[in-house]
Amino acid sequence: MCGIVGYTGMRPAVPFLMNGLRRLEYRGYDSAGVALQAGEGLLLEKQAGKVQGLADALTERASVDLDGSVCGIAHTRWATHGPPTQNNAHPHLSKERIALVHNGIIENHNSLRERLRADGYEFLSETDTEVLAHLVESHYEGDLLVALTAALKEVQGTFGVACISAEEPGVLIVARRGSPIVIGLGEDETIVASDASAIIKHTRQVIYLDDNDVARIVAGDVEIRTLDSTPVSRATSEIDWSADAAEKGGYEHYMLKEIFEQPETIRNTIRGRLDSDRGTAILSGLNLEARDLADIQRMLVVGCGTSMNAGMVGEYAVEDFAGFPAEVEQAAEFRYRNPIVGSKDLVIAISQSGETADTLAAVREAKDKGATVVGLVNVVGSTIARETGRGVYLHAGPEISVASTKAFTSQVSVLLMIALKFARSRRMSRERGMEFVREIEALPLLVEKVLEQNDRIAKVAEQFADFENAFYIGRGYMYPVALEGALKLKEISYIHAEGYHAAELKHGPIALLQDNVPVVALLNHGPGKDKTLGNVAECQARSAPILGIITEGDEEARSCVDSYIEVPYAPLHAAVIPATVALQLFSYHVARLRGCAIDQPRNLAKSVTVE
Ligand code: F6R
């Protein structure tokens, strides 16, 4: 959510900053801006709208100062405080000598603003960030690190910050609490960002700041202190994915590319983690010995959005196969409702980004209450990965499309492996374990079979692209798939879509059905199919057009629906994956036919770092 880039070194800063902003645009696209040390002062350019608008403005304004600047900061915004206008765009300046960009929320901005106004500061925007810029200026006596440290001590809330001063050439200061800052180390130059994808083109050597770290960076030198001024050193890590992974690779949209990557990403997720001889999963990152496994009395999964939907599959699979209680809970609710959690609970925090504020808050709550907390995270080195300290990385590679696809299928793959591991430590036979391993190993192939039907799914989408409302229904393992299918459709096509348990529809929502409200029914082969077919008949009796997701060759299901997409047969816990991929493609094609901004849907941003 929002993207920060900063550069200091020997080369012109603008190309680094603009390239970084383009890479980070998926984190917010309401406005963009840069501030540069130029000549004796600071040069500021910002625009409402996408990064391209900023690029055009910079081209028009081309100047020697702009081209010659070797230190600057830049930002792409997802609006929190104040609408997406030019004035509210970052960077924010104070007294023409401090420029600052910020991710996160300054919670006590109102009281600070009042005080700063009384001290004579003039506010040009409605943002909490401008408050921070003036606060830093109010502490500034020639040392920006000291001033930022003093300001941040007065701040409540979360921040990833980068700032520069007109009076300290080449000095870039960054800090974090709750919003990530990654420092990319080059030779005689440093590029900082809120996300490694803005850095990878230039260097793989990075330092991740910890919460309450402040760093002074000059060319290639990085000096880190904590907010209480204690010098600290943070380890250098190497980014293990390539710049190509964050490119579109010939696809029209990142979303389509990421959907098509899934056979490979699932292979990466399961590689080396299955023991086919012993019929179990090897998940050493969980750091759970046999004794720990035996002690666990309940599994609790927390996450948001798509990650929570994946968590529900985990809940079902653990109860189904391992035979002990599992629950999934919205991370946002977990923290505030005083949940009963203790040392016998295993809490699994699921997050693609590893930065989602609600999930992070749930992690902290669970840790405080003594639970064993593990992370299922995609982004290496992210806050949730580090705070949980144990878990399973998804290895799905960078997910750039705002709508999550490949992260979901990798999350489900890991959850199935967790269910297998727990089941084998309790009640599952070796033979059944070996079969389960084969079921997981078959997942990439099942996805390939769905992808082969892309053209047909695009045709089916044509019949549904003009509706404005839709319901998705499913039972058992297909219930979370219905939730995820509806989420995907609404976020990228703006069709109002609701996922419901198939049986729930008649408890209210059925009142909405008519001939222009289609129902997407998950009719995969399995125990819930006949009952769901009954629900389909109820919908048809109200004239709703039905799209069935059916098992390949299922004549009965085919004859009961108006349109269908076939998915290959798999046992239901595994069928979640091909069924979801079919719905991802369906949403994609509907959104495309409606001319939507698929990779950057309105009002959304990747990685939600505010509560
Ligand atoms: C939907 C989507 C969101 C995220 C949610 C959690 O396509 O992307 O619902 O799943 O914001 O994000 P992570 O997984 O990064 O915690």
Can you tell me whether residue 358 is helix, strand or coil? Answer: helix
Can you tell me whether residue 332 is helix, strand or coil? Answer: helix
Can you tell me whether residue 545 is helix, strand or coil? Answer: coil
Shortest CA distance to 503 belongs to which of 534, 540, 525?
Answer: 534
Q: pTM for the full model?
A: 0.87
459 catalytic per annotation: no
Q: Is the CB of 403 under 6 A from ligand 1?
A: yes
Shortest CA distance to 414 belongs to which of 230, 237, 576?
Answer: 576
Are 452 and 309 in contact, with CB atoms under 8 Å apart? no
Residue 32 is predicted with a pLDDT of 96
Residue 505 is predicted with a pLDDT of 92
What is the dihedral sign for C-alpha 314, 316, 321, 322? positive
Residue whose CA is at the smallest distance from ligand 1 atom 16: 351
Residue whose CA is at the smallest distance from ligand 1 atom 10: 306
Q: What is the pLDDT of residues 235-250, one digit of tens each?
A: 999 988 777 777 888 8
Q: What are the strands of the beta sheet with 563-567, ordered from one edge?
A: 496-501, 469-474, 519-523, 546-551, 563-567
Residue 230 is predicted with a pLDDT of 96
Domains observed in the chain:
3-239 (3.60.20.10), 247-441 (3.40.50.10490), 448-611 (3.40.50.10490)
Instruction: Tally Cβ neighbours within 10 Å of residue 230.
Output: 8
Residue 592 is predicted with a pLDDT of 97
Are 382 and 354 in contact, with CB atoms under 8 Å apart? yes
Are 364 and 336 in contact, with CB atoms under 8 Å apart? no
Q: Is the CB of 378 under 6 A from ligand 1?
A: no
Q: What is the pLDDT of residues 51-87, one digit of tens each?
A: 999 999 999 887 777 788 999 999 999 888 888 899 9
Shortest CA distance to 34 belongs to which of 79, 87, 74?
Answer: 74
2 catalytic per annotation: yes
Rounded Cα gap, residues 103 and 160, in angstroms: 5
Six-digit token string for 492: 């990228």
What is the dihedral sign for C-alpha 442, 491, 543, 539? positive
What spacing in Å lies between the alpha carbon of 595 and ligand 1's midpoint? 23
What spacing in Å lies between the alpha carbon of 66 and ligand 1's midpoint? 37
- State the DSSP string of 79-148: -SSS-S-TTTSSPEEETTTEEEEEES-BTTHHHHHHHHHHTTPPP-SS-HHHHHHHHHHHH-SS-HHHHH
Rounded Cα gap, residues 178 and 195, in angstroms: 13
Residue 557 is predicted with a pLDDT of 96
Q: What is the pLDDT of residues 582-597, one digit of tens each?
A: 999 999 999 999 999 9
Are 541 and 512 in contact, with CB atoms under 8 Å apart? no
At residue 248, what is the residue type?
K
